[in-house]
Amino acid sequence: MGNRLAIFDCDGTLCDGQAFICRSMDIAFAQCGLPEPDAHEVRRIVGLSLPVAVRRLAPDIDDSLLRQAVAAYKEAFFASRQDGSLSEPLFPGMEALVRSLHGKGWTLGVATGKSERGLKSTLAMHGLLDFFSTLQTSDRHPSKPHPSMLVTAMEDALASPEQTVMIGDTMFDMEAAKAAGTDAIGVAWGYHGVEELFAAGARAVARTAGELEELIHG
């Protein structure tokens, strides 16, 4: 029959790291001599792989400066992790949801624009790393909404698209699910609006973790 697979986005879905994402982007742009990016626009690109995100914020920069900005962002974010100032709290109810789904036999995965090192650090910090069987990150895949992350997660989990649900807070997540042929459920506490999620292909949008679990089982 195959495995039931629930794939989660990370930032904006499982955890809230927006303050440090915005701060790291400010530092990166300043170091590269670029105008400070608008915080609202930075939040809008959360979920994209970093080079794609920077390019959307600064579409006119050349490839060399793009690489410098990406490296500066990574350095700033890593420095905040190293000095203990980084805060990426889980959204209310998400730890219990992960544990509940795992206990009910779901295979769990993550598809995120984070690096593998960053994702593993975040999940380990919250004691959740061992609950996830497949981790798909920007190190090995094109940015969402390309379906590569979801396709590989399904291959890892021996799950078909009909047995798979993508859970995320952005249009990129919903569009990736549509491209991969999976179910798509949005969450209302992230970076894109509810109507945007529906327009991008969400079957439903959860307002709480409890509602999300009901929708996943439904």
Amino acid at 125: M
* DSSP category for residue 200: T
Element (H, E) at 53: helix 50-57
Residue 89, judged by CB atoms within 10 A of its CB (0-12, 13-18, 19+), counts as exposed
Asked if pLDDT for residue 66 goes beyond 70, the answer is yes
DSSP line for 75-112? HHHHHHHHTT----PBPTTHHHHHHHHHHTT-EEEEE-
Asked if pLDDT for residue 1 goes beyond 70, the answer is no
Q: How confident is the model at residue 132 (pLDDT cuts 50, 70, 90)?
A: very high
Identify the pLDDT of residue 17: 84
Q: Which structure tokens are listed for 18?
A: 């927006």
Q: How far apart are CA 22 and CA 204, in angstroms?
A: 28
Determine the CATH number of domain 18-82: 1.10.150.240
Interval 165-175: pLDDT, tens: 999 999 999 99
Higher pLDDT, 197 or 78: 197
The mean pLDDT of 6-31, rounded to a whole number, is 93
Which residue ranges make up each domain of the chain?
A: 5-16+88-217, 18-82
CA 85 to chain centre: 21
Identify the pLDDT of residue 6: 98
* DSSP category for residue 73: H
Please, are residues 55 and 112 in contact by the beta-carbon 8 Å criterion?
no
CA 12 to chain centre: 7
Q: How far apart are CA 178 and CA 182, in angstroms?
A: 6
Determine the CATH number of domain 5-16+88-217: 3.40.50.1000
Q: How confident is the model at residue 81 (pLDDT cuts 50, 70, 90)?
A: confident
Q: How far apart are CA 84 and CA 81, in angstroms?
A: 5
Interval 185-210: pLDDT, tens: 999 999 999 999 999 999 999 999 99
DSSP line for 29-44? HHHTTPPPPPHHHHHH
Classified as helix, coil or strand, 60 is: coil
Known catalytic residues? 9, 11
The mean pLDDT of 53-78, rounded to a whole number, is 94
The mean pLDDT of 25-45, rounded to a whole number, is 93
Q: How confident is the model at residue 82 (pLDDT cuts 50, 70, 90)?
A: confident
Please, are residues 100 and 213 in contact by the beta-carbon 8 Å criterion?
yes
